[in-house]
Structure 1
Amino acid sequence: MIWDNPKILLALLALPFMALFLVFEWRGRKKSCDLYASPSFFEKLTSRRQRAGIFSRICVILAYAFLIPALAGPRWGIVSRKVEEKSSSVMIAMDVSASMFCEDIKPTRFKASIAKIKYLLSLLGAERFGIVGFAGKAFTICPLTSDISSVRMLLDEISVGEISYPGTNIAEALSKAAESFAGYANSRAIILLTDGENLQGDPSKIVKNLSGIKVFIIGVGTPEGEPIPVKDETGKVTGYKKDENGETVISRRDETLLLQIANSTEGRYYPFDEANRDIEQIAEAVNSMDKDFMGDSFSSSMEKKYYIPLAAALFFMLADFLLPFITLKKTFLDNLPPVVLFLIFIAAPPASRAESIGLSLGDSIEISRGNKAFKNKDFFKAETYYRKVLKKKASPDIYYNLGNTYYFMQKNDDADKNYKKAETFRNPKLEEDLFYNMANNCYRKGDMDGAISFYRGVLSKDPVSSDALHNLELALRKKSEKKGSEKKDNEENKKDGSMSKDDMQRALNLLDDMEKKSTKKQEKQKMPAVKKDW
C-alpha cells in the first residue's frame, strides 16, 4: 500500500487526545446533572435519551479515524490501462525582426512573446510543437516534436536579430510552418506572434495554400507604436533606426493585415493581452480541434482506494447526524412549525437592484416602464420615463439606457452626450457594453478614429469579442478607403497644373544623379538590398 499524501496521516496522532477529551467531557456533564437530580428523574426532564450522547461521541471519533486515511489517498492493487495517444500539431511562427526590440510592450515585444509561448506550452503539454523564426527570411528552429523540454530549451536560445536577413516576411513564415505539417491531416494550427508590419512577400497568396490549417494570431505591440532602438553588442541603446529619408522609424501594430489572415483561415486574431486571456482562448480552440491518432500505449498504476475509508467516514457522520432524531422523544409534528418558519425565512426575496443603487420604489417603477417601452420600440415614451428618473437621481445605467434610446431615434449627438455621462461613473460592469455602443455611434457618425478607439476599448476588456473584432476590421478598412480616396483626389488636382521651372530643375538634377550612380561599380551583396530592414 502507498499513500498519495502520507503527511496527512500525522493527524491521526490527535485521535487519542480527542477520545480522552470526549470521555472527560461526558463524565463532567453527568456529574453536573447528578448534583441536581437522579439519572431517572433527569431523563424525564429532557427530550433526549442519555445513551444517545455516548453513541454520538463514538460516531464522531470513528468518522475522524476513517476520514484522515481517505484524505491521505490509499492505493493498492496494480491496474493496467490501454491509452490511445492523440495530439494536435502546433507550429509557432515567431517574429525575430528588429522591430521586436521595441519596448511598448514591457520588457520588450520579443521577451513578452517568449513568455506567452512558455505559458502556452504549460497549457498544452500533450501536443506536438515546432518553432519557426522569421525576419526577412524564415527558418525552422525546431521541427514538430512532443519533447516539450527541448522546445523550452530552444526558446531560451532564440534572440532578436538571430536571422541575418533584415525585414519582415510573414508570407514565408506561414509557408515554412505549413511545410512542417507533412503527414498530419487533422489537427493543424499555426500560432503567429508578430507586430504585423509585413515588409516582404504577399501573405494573401500564401493563405490560399493553407487549406485545413487554422492561423491564430497575437498582435504584439500597440497601435501608437514606438521607435526601433539600435543596440550594440553589450545591449546598450546607441540610437534609433532611420529610414532612407533620415527620419526615425515608428513601428506600429498593423491589425488590418492580421485580421485578414485570421479570417481567411478560420482562425482568430487577438490583440496582445497582459492577462494572457489571448493564450487561454487559443489553448481552448486547439483542444477543441480533432486530434491525430499517434498510437496505443499501456500504463500501469496502483488503484486508488480512498472511497472505502471515505464511505465508512460518511456512514458514521450520517449516524451522528441522525441519532438525535432517532432517540428524540418528541414526534416529527412537534418540530414542524420551526422548520416551516426556517424555510419561509430562507425563501424571502433579496433587496431589489433599484434599492441597491439608492432608487425609490416609484423610480424603479418608472425605469421598468421605460425598459418596457424601449422593448416595444416606443422610444419617445422610453425617453420620457428615463428623463423623469434622471431629474431625481443620476445613474450610469439610466444614462446608458437613455443613450441607447437616442441611438435608435437617430439622434446620434444626444446619444453621444449620454454615453459620455455614463462613462464618467467608471462602472466596470457597464464599460464593455458602453464602449461597444459608443463605437457603433461613432461609426454611424463617420468618426472612424473614435470608433476604432472604442472598439479597442472593448477588446481591452474582452480580447475575444468576435463582434468587436469584426467591427474593428470594418472601421479600419473604412478609414483606409477614406485615406485612399483623399490621396486620389490630391493626385488628380496635381495633374491639372503644368510643371513649374523649379520642378523641371529638380527633375534634371535627379536625372544627373541617376547617371552618376549608374557609372559606379556595384560590389556583390551577401544580403538582399531592402529599404525597410526592420
Structure 2
Amino acid sequence: MDFENPQRLWLLLGLPPLILWAWRAARLRARGWKVLGQWGAPPRDRSVGILIALTFAVLALARPRIGFAPDEPIGPGQDVILAFDVSRSMAAEDATPNRLGLAVETARSLVDVLAREPADRAGVVAFAGRGVLRCPLTQNMGAVVDAMDRLRPGDVKPGGTDLAAALDAAVEAFDPTESEEGRTVVVFTDGEDHEGRWEEALERAIARGVVVHAIALGDAEDGNPVPSGTPDQPLTYRGEPVVSRRNDAALDAIAERSGGAVLKLGLATADLGLLYRERIAPVALARRRASKAADRPERFPLFLAASLGFLIAACRPGDRVRRPRRFPRNAARSVILGLALTQVGADPAPETAAAAVARGRTAYDAGRFAEALAAFEAAAARAPDRAVPAYDVAATLYQMDRHAEAVARYQEARVRADAALRTKIDYALGNAAIGLGDLPNAVRHYDACLASTAPGEALDAVRSDAAINRRFALEQLQEAISRQDEPAPDDPSDRKDTPDGTPRGGEAKPDDGPGDDPEGRSGDADPSGGRETDRPSPRKRGGAGGDDPSPPGGSPDARLDDALEQIRDARRRRLPDEPPPDAPRAEGKDW
C-alpha cells in the first residue's frame, strides 16, 4: 500500500494528545460517578469511536492505493544477452570438445527454455579484448542458436580477455527506449581478465537495471595449455607455455553486486532451465511489480466510509442513565471534530489526472488540438508515472504535425505501458517515422507492433493496419534503392553532351513529381498507359486513432535520400569485424 498524498499523514501526529485527553476524561468520569454514588456503570465513552473515525478520515485524505488494476496484469517477458568469451584460452581442451564448445552446448538448454515463452527475447555477444554483438535481441531462437554455433576461439580481435568490454557490449544490446525490468546478461567464460577494469562497467550495467549471471568453465586446479593453432605446439608467453586456469574471483564479485548467480560448471555441462526458473524469471517479475506500484487503484472511498461508520456508531443514542440538562461533553467533542474535518476538506480538490484526460479527449474529439494538448500535459504532470497521459500527449502532437516531439513522447509512454498499449504505441511510432521520412525505423516499429501477442479485436485491427503500412514503407525503400542504382541523367556531373551541345537523349522532360493523392498513391506515370500506379498506402490513422492525411515532412526525394543513407550506414556496421587500430593489450597477453 502507498499514498497519493503522503504529506497529509502528518495530521496523524495530532492523535496522541487526543488519546491522552480521552483517557484522562474517562478516568475523571468514572471517579465522579463513584463519588456521586450513582447506580450502575458510568455512561459509555464515545471517544474511542470518534478517534478511530478521525484516523480513517486522515487516511482517506492521504488517498491510499492498494493492490493492482485488474485490467493491467503483470505479463511475462525477459531480455537475455548471452555473452561468450571467444578468447584463445576458450580453446583449451580440458573440457569436451573445448571450453567454448561446452559453453555453447550449455547455453542451448537456456535458449530452449526461453523459446517456450513467446515474449522472451535473446541476443548473442562475443568478446575477447573487446565486445561484438553477433545477434541482436530477437524472439527467433533459431537465429540465436545459429549465431552461437558460428562462434570460434580467436574470432574477435584484439585478443586477450576483458570482462568490462563484455559487460559494455551486452548493455548496449538492450533497447534504451524500453522498460529496464527483465534485463539479464549471462556470461560464459573461464574467468580470466587481463584488464581488471570490470568494476566501472558493472556499475553502468547495474544503473541500467541489468542482472549479471556467470557460468564458469574450465579446470580451476591444474589448468590446461592454450593451443597456438599449430598442432602439438601450445601457446607461449615470454618463452614459457601458457597454462589457463579458471578464475572465479571476478565472476563471484560481479554476480553478487548485480544480484545474479555464479554456476561453476568446470568441465561438465548442465541444464540452465533451473537458473531461468529460480533466478532470471523471479527477478524480472519482482522488478515489474515494483514498476507497477504507481498504477495501483485508489481506495480512499473505503476509508472514508469506515470513518463515517465509526462516527455514526459513536454518536448513536442509547444511554439509559439520566443526565443533567446541559450540552453533553461528548456531543460537543463530536461537533468540534466534525468542524475540524470540514475545515480540512474545505479546500477545493485539484483536478485529478483522470479528469484532465477526460477533458482532453473531449477537446481532441472536437478537433481542438491545442486545448487537448494542454489538458493532456496537465494530466501527465499530475501522473508522471502513468503511460496513458503521455500517450495522449504524443497522439495530439502527431495530429498537430509535430512528429519529432510525438516520437519522443511515444517512447516515453512506451517505457511504462502494458502489452496492449505498447502495441498501439509501436504502430503510432511507425506512422510518425513515416511522417519524418525515417522509413527503416518505420519498418522496425511496425515489426514490433506485429510481434505483439496482446489479445483483442481492437488490437487485431491495429496489427492489420501495421501490416499494410509496413508494405508501403518497404516498397518505398525498394524504390529508393532502385533509384540509387540507376544513372541520374539530370545530374550535371554525370551527364555527357553530344558534339552539338545538346544533352544525350534529346530535350529533358520536366519532372511532374508525385501528386497529393488523398488515397496515398505515388503519382508516378505508368509508361504503358499514363495511369497512376496503385501501391499500398499507409493507413491514415493518427497516433491516437484519429484520421490524418498522408505523412508530410519534406519532399519525397529528400526523405528517400535520408532512408538510403541510413541503409548504407547499417550495411557498413554489418561488415566483418575489424580490430580497432593500435588496440592496447595488457602486457601483450593474447589469450
**TM-score between both structures, scaled by the size of structure 2:** 0.36
Question: Comparing both structures, which one devotes a greater share of its residues to strand?
Answer: 1
Question: Comparing both structures, which one devotes a greater share of its residues to helix?
Answer: 1
Using CA pairs under 8 Å that are at least 6 residues apart, name the structure with larger relative contact order, 1 or 2. 1
